[in-house]
Homo-oligomer: A and B are copies of this chain.
Amino acid sequence: MPGWLCCPGFFPVTNPIGIFDSGLGGLTVYRALQKLLPHESLVYLGDTARVPYGTKSAPTVTEYSIENTEFLLERAAKIVVVACNTASAYAVPQLQAQFDVPIQGVLNPGAAHAATVTRNGHVGVIGTSGTIASDAYAQALRQINPDLQVTSQSCPLFVPLVEEGWLDRPETVSIAQTYLTPLLEAEVDTIILGCTHYPLLRAVIQQVVGESVTLIDSATATAEVVKDMLGRGGMLPPISANRDAGREHPAPTDHEFWVTDAPERFQRVGEIFLGHSLDNVRKV
């Protein structure tokens, strides 16, 4: 049992959940947490001065992740969610060893969910170059079930397509066909969307692979795991328990958005992710 579970009182339950990502993509995780835990305060940090992490090395991504975690702890985070697949692949063990708060990446929840839903035992993983090169999803899947077959594919053009807002253009469909054909040939029946940007391409990906393939969104799976962790650790704010007991909801808690550079771009492109404008993005 991790140390923090023994002393939940050490982190006030009303403290915020901290979330960091290399940039914007983690907003899909933010959205999932907001939906599942509407009474929590959320503090989001996008490391937009150094985005993307997907093409950078493990030591560099780990160094950046440590700095991001330190910032969130200064903002009194009671738990840190690593809402970036590359950072989850490279940095989570180091962060867990170094910091006292619970640290949760997006990788294990996605892998665990995929291992549960696959019917033929053949799982596909798509992600950035860094995430795929790390082989972290394949290792996590095989640790859950050594009999699983895993086929991985990096899709480097998906992130720029999302950030350009080209979510359903013919070029996007064509590029998705190129990337996803090897997974179909390998007869996977489940594909992990191993990058936080990819849920925005869900419709195109589903169209290309067909309805018989199940797409796993790590963001949703991670939000479920975070809720469970907080519940087990006695770290949910009282109002969540009230909500579960059917009592009235309070006014929405305030959320913070921080970036390391270019807040106006984050606000603008953030709308693609959230469907509404962000007017309170601050630069660290």
Contacts and interface: CB of A to CB of B under 8 A. Distances in A.
Interface of A: 48-51, 55-57, 60, 129, 156-157, 159-161, 163-164, 166, 170-171, 174-175, 178, 261-262, 265
Given A57-B261, A157-B160, 20 more contacts: A48-B56, A49-B50, A49-B56, A49-B60, A50-B50, A51-B55, A55-B262, A56-B261, A57-B262, A60-B262, A156-B160, A156-B164, A157-B161, A157-B164, A157-B166, A159-B160, A160-B160, A171-B171, A171-B174, A174-B174
A175 B57 CA distance: 30
A262 B56 contact: yes
22 contacts: A48-B56, A49-B50, A49-B56, A49-B60, A50-B50, A55-B262, A56-B262, A57-B261, A57-B262, A60-B261, A60-B262, A129-B265, A156-B160, A156-B163, A156-B164, A157-B157, A157-B160, A157-B161, A157-B166, A159-B160, A171-B175, A171-B178
Nearest to A160: B160
A55 B265 contact: yes
A170 B161 contact: no
A195 to B, nearest CB: 14
